[in-house]
């Protein structure tokens, strides 16, 4: 479960990115986080992944209190999350298999489990034939599916996707979003930051709209009010 | 505590990192080898200078002259008293006849000295000491022995040797310390470049929950292997260089007075020091390079 209570965040340069957000995402939910540029969406992602600390308020993620987490607990908290980035962030000199294997090794998974888990996850994202390919040999959609597989491989409670369709055409975007919905149906909480209004409306999921560091709308069914600009 | 299979993984990662960043690896090894060679050469020059000084020290002796009223037997009886003085290594009795023979031999070309009566000289003892720094104290003790009329010692020469050796040691230690710091700094910066190249990989590892230890170990292994490889190369080069210089000195007529310490007496110390310094430089450089990427 993710819970933000009266969270405020101000960067060192004085920019107030989050001005008091209270938000709860239950286990197993699928939530779109939308809003214009500079609204604070990316800061929320950074707060959730422990990259930045809030100036005020409390953040609880999967049983960890991120607002006063110790340095030693941060890796443990991050193991409950799977993060997907707009630019995929795959390691080009490693094969698809190795891109997945090294994140499993990073959390101490034994070789036997790695050999068993990776084919399963690659099958889930329909890339079982690309295990030995390098990221540069794949299309954008395939690379993003590898990124999803990497986020899934350690079996996290929550997937956080930051503009996952930003570099994909509409058809691939729909395909990818459907995959995230499928993952959600298997029990994983999914939080998607996006500016693709059509996609958001199409899936009829919970939509939280952020503007100027505040939540201005939280409803189910599609985007309501304001503008969405990436 | 990392598991055994992790260490296999770290070793494999460290090794593959070395090969995948070939130029940087070459640069880091080259710099470390150069620094080790410079440090090694200075140290070996210092070791040889020290050995040379010790040889010269050995030739420096105290001459203790026996009272001329003492008979030859009485004079020889002083030997055991002199040998008991702390710091004295050898005591050699020289009768006035032997001293005269030496004197005549030294001035063989001068006829005027060839007909002198040995009775004008005194029986004497040539005393060698272990540590030149004790020369004044030993001289005083020899003077206090009953039957010793006079003592001559080249204290200024001894003091000159000591000063020279101390200055050489200080310069050598200072140079080695400076070169060591420079080596760590350069190696650290070289590894930092390879680390910078892998910042994305490190960022992903942190994002999926890898601990700092897990991220750090492959770099430590890489530093260790870089250091060890550098030490091996530097050792072989140092060996070749030393032997070449030793042969050059041996075959040169004017330099034959210099005694070069054989490498066979030094190789173990050189190998051990190079391995230790190389590994310390490599691992230290790696840890220093990776530090800023591990800040949460």
The pLDDT of residue A2 is above 90: yes
Q: Is residue A61 one of the residues assigned to a domain?
A: yes
pLDDT of residue B284: 84
The pLDDT of residue A230 is above 60: no
Q: State how far residue A54 is from chain B, nearest Cα, in angstroms.
A: 14
For the residues B170-175, what does the mean pLDDT come to? 83
pLDDT of residue B281: 84
CATH number of the domain bearing residue A171: 3.40.50.300
Residue A222 binned pLDDT confidence (cut-offs 50, 70, 90): low
Q: Looking at this predicted complex, what is its ipTM?
A: 0.80
Indicate the helix (H) or strand (E) that contains B90.
strand B88-94
Cβ of A93 within 8 Å of Cβ of B20? The answer is yes
Cβ of A154 within 8 Å of Cβ of B208? The answer is yes
Same domain, residue pair A117 and A22: no
Same domain, residue pair A169 and A72: yes
Same domain, residue pair B253 and B219: yes
**Chains A & B: contacts with CB separation below 8 Å:** 54
How many domains is chain B built from?
2
Average pLDDT value for chain A: 89
For the residues B65-94, what does the mean pLDDT come to? 86
Same domain, residue pair B142 and B251: no
The pLDDT of residue A77 is above 80: yes
Which CA distances in Å does B202 have to A58, A89, A206, B55, B212? 28, 11, 34, 58, 10
Q: Which of B100, B121, B153 is the last residue of a domain?
A: B153
Cβ of B209 within 8 Å of Cβ of A108? The answer is no
The pLDDT of residue B295 is above 70: no
CB B47, CB B261: distance < 8 Å: yes
Same domain, residue pair B100 and B243: no
Q: Which of B137, B153, B169 is the last residue of a domain?
A: B153
Residue A124 structural domain: 90-155
CB A160, CB A150: distance < 8 Å: no
Q: Which of A62, A75, A90 best tests the B interface by mutation, with the highest count of B CBs <10 A?
A: A75
Same domain, residue pair A14 and A106: no
Measured over the CA atoms of residue A191, residue A194, residue A199 and residue A200, the dihedral's sign is positive
Residue A16 and residue A206: Cα distance in Å, rounded?
26
Residue A113 binned pLDDT confidence (cut-offs 50, 70, 90): very high
Same domain, residue pair B115 and B179: no
Chain A residues within 8 A of B291 when measuring between CB atoms: none
For the residues B230-247, what does the mean pLDDT come to? 94
* Better pLDDT: B13 or A28: A28
- 3-state SS class at A162: strand
Q: Is residue A141 one of the residues assigned to a domain?
A: yes
CB A55, CB A68: distance < 8 Å: no
* Better pLDDT: A197 or A230: A197
Same domain, residue pair A130 and A183: no
Cβ of A79 within 8 Å of Cβ of B209? The answer is yes
Alpha helices (H) along chain B: 4-20, 22-59, 72-76, 79-83, 96-106, 135-143, 155-197, 199-207, 212-251, 267-290
Same domain, residue pair B258 and B242: yes
How many domains is chain A built from?
2
Residue among A174, A204, A90 at smallest CA distance from A138: A90
* Better pLDDT: B162 or A218: A218
Same domain, residue pair B288 and B171: yes
Q: What would the pLDDT profile of B23-53 be if each residue is shown by its tens digit?
A: 878 888 888 898 889 888 888 887 887 787 7
Instruction: Please name the member of B5, B20, B214 whose beta carbon is closest to the beta carbon of A111.
Output: B5
- 3-state SS class at B252: coil
pLDDT of residue A138: 95
For the residues A115-135, what does the mean pLDDT come to? 93
Chain B residues within 8 A of A81 when measuring between CB atoms: 209
For the residues A61-82, what does the mean pLDDT come to? 89
* Better pLDDT: A197 or B224: B224
Chain A residues within 8 A of B3 when measuring between CB atoms: 108, 110
Q: What would the pLDDT profile of A7-60 be if each residue is shown by its tens digit?
A: 999 998 888 889 999 999 999 999 999 988 888 888 999 999 888 889 999 999
For the residues B3-29, what does the mean pLDDT come to? 76
The mean-pLDDT minimum among B78-82, B92-96, B155-159 falls in B155-159
CB-hemisphere CA count at 13 Å for A206? 14
Same domain, residue pair A26 and A128: no
Same domain, residue pair B166 and B251: yes
Same domain, residue pair B278 and B135: no
For the residues B264-285, what does the mean pLDDT come to? 89
pLDDT of residue A82: 93
Chain A residues within 8 A of B293 when measuring between CB atoms: none
pLDDT of residue A224: 58
Residue B238 structural domain: 4-56+160-294
Same domain, residue pair A211 and A200: yes
Cβ of A79 within 8 Å of Cβ of B208? The answer is yes
CATH number of the domain bearing residue B131: 3.30.70.3040
Chain B residues within 8 A of A108 when measuring between CB atoms: 3, 6, 214
Q: How many CB atoms lie within 10 A of CB B225?
A: 20
Residue A137 binned pLDDT confidence (cut-offs 50, 70, 90): very high
Q: Indicate the DSSP class of residue A119.
A: H
Q: Is residue A85 one of the residues assigned to a domain?
A: no
Same domain, residue pair A42 and A110: no
Q: Is residue A229 one of the residues assigned to a domain?
A: no
Residues in CB range of B102: below 8 A, 6 or more apart: B94
Same domain, residue pair B44 and B168: yes
Same domain, residue pair B69 and B207: no
Same domain, residue pair B139 and B172: no
Same domain, residue pair A121 and A65: no
Cβ of B208 within 8 Å of Cβ of A107? The answer is yes
Which CA distances in Å does A160 have to A63, A187, A193, B99? 16, 14, 8, 100
Residue A129 binned pLDDT confidence (cut-offs 50, 70, 90): very high
Indicate the pTM of the whole model: 0.66
Cβ of B5 within 8 Å of Cβ of A89? The answer is no
pLDDT of residue A170: 85
The pLDDT of residue A71 is above 80: yes
Cβ of A89 within 8 Å of Cβ of B209? The answer is no
For the residues A106-125, what does the mean pLDDT come to? 91
Same domain, residue pair A75 and A177: yes
The pLDDT of residue B122 is above 60: yes
pLDDT of residue A223: 63
Residue B258 and residue B53: Cα distance in Å, rounded?
10
pLDDT of residue A228: 44
| B199 to chain A: closest CA residue | A91
pLDDT of residue A33: 93
- 3-state SS class at B149: strand
Residue B217 and residue B290: Cα distance in Å, rounded?
10
Same domain, residue pair B213 and B138: no
Q: Which of A121, A155, A189 is the last residue of a domain?
A: A155
CB B17, CB B225: distance < 8 Å: no
The mean-pLDDT minimum among A82-96, A136-150, B156-170, B199-213 falls in B156-170
Q: What would the pLDDT profile of A147-202 be if each residue is shown by its tens digit?
A: 999 999 998 999 999 988 887 888 888 888 998 999 999 899 999 998 888 888 88
Q: What would the pLDDT profile of B243-255 be if each residue is shown by its tens digit?
A: 999 888 888 777 6
| A72 to chain B: closest CA residue | B211
Instruction: Please name the member of B3, B207, B215 whose beta carbon is closest to the beta carbon of A78.
Output: B207
Residue A131 binned pLDDT confidence (cut-offs 50, 70, 90): very high
Chain B residues within 8 A of A53 when measuring between CB atoms: none
Cβ of A106 within 8 Å of Cβ of B210? The answer is yes
Same domain, residue pair A96 and A65: no
């Amino acid at each position: 479960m993710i819970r933000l209570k009266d969270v405020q965040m101000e960067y060192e340069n004085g920019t107030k990115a989050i001005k008091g957000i209270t938000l709860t995402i239950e286990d197993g939910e699928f939530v779109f986080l939308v809003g214009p540029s500079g609204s604070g969406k990316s800061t929320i992602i950074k707060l959730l992944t422990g990259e930045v600390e809030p100036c005020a308020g409390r953040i609880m993620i999967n049983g960890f209190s991120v607002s006063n987490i110790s340095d030693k607990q941060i890796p443990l908290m991050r193991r409950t999350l799977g993060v997907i980035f707009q630019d995929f962030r795959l390691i080009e000199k490693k094969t698809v298999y190795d891109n997945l294997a090294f994140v499993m090794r990073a959390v101490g998974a034994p070789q036997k489990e790695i050999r068993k888990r990776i084919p399963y996850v690659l099958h889930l994202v329909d890339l079982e034939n690309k295990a030995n390919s390098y990221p540069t040999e794949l299309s954008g959609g395939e690379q993003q599916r590898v990124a999803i597989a990497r986020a899934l491989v350690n079996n996290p409670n929550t997937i956080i996707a930051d503009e996952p369709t930003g570099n994909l055409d509409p058809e691939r975007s729909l395909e990818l979003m459907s995959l995230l919905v499928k993952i959600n149906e298997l029990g994983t909480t999914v939080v998607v930051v996006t500016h693709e209004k059509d996609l958001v409306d199409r899936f009829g999921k919970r939509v939280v709209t952020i503007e100027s560091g505040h939540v201005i709308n939280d409803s189910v069914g599609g985007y309501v009010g304001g503008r969405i600009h990436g | 505590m990392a598991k055994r299979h992790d260490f296999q993984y770290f070793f494999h990662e460290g090794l593959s990192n070395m090969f995948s960043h070939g130029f940087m690896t070459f640069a880091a090894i080259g710099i470390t080898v150069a620094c080790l060679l410079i440090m090694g050469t200075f140290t070996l020059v210092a070791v040889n200078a020290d050995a040379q000084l010790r040889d010269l020290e050995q030739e420096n002796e105290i001459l203790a002259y026996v009272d001329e009223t003492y008979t030859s037997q009485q004079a020889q009886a002083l030997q055991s008293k002199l040998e008991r003085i702390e710091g004295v290594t050898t005591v050699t009795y020289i009768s006035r006849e032997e001293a005269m023979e030496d004197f005549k031999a030294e001035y063989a070309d001068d006829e005027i000295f060839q007909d002198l009566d040995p009775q004008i000289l005194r029986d004497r003892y040539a005393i060698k000491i272990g540590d030149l720094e004790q020369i004044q104290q030993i001289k005083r003790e020899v003077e206090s022995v009953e039957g010793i009329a006079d003592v001559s010692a080249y204290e200024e020469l001894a003091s000159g040797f000591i000063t020279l050796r101390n200055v050489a040691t200080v310069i050598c230690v200072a140079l080695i310390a400076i070169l060591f710091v420079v080596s760590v700094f350069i190696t650290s910066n070289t590894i930092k470049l390879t680390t910078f190249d892998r910042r994305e990989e490190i960022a992903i590892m942190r994002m999926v929950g890898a601990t700092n230890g897990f991220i750090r170990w492959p770099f430590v292994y890489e530093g260790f292997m870089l250091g060890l490889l550098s030490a091996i190369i530097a050792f072989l080069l140092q060996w070749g260089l030393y032997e070449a210089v030793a042969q050059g000195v041996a075959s040169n007529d004017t330099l034959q007075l210099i005694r070069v310490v054989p490498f066979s007496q030094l190789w173990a110390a050189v190998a051990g020091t190079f391995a230790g310094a190389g590994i310390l430089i490599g691992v230290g450089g790696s840890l220093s390079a990776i530090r800023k990427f591990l800040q949460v």
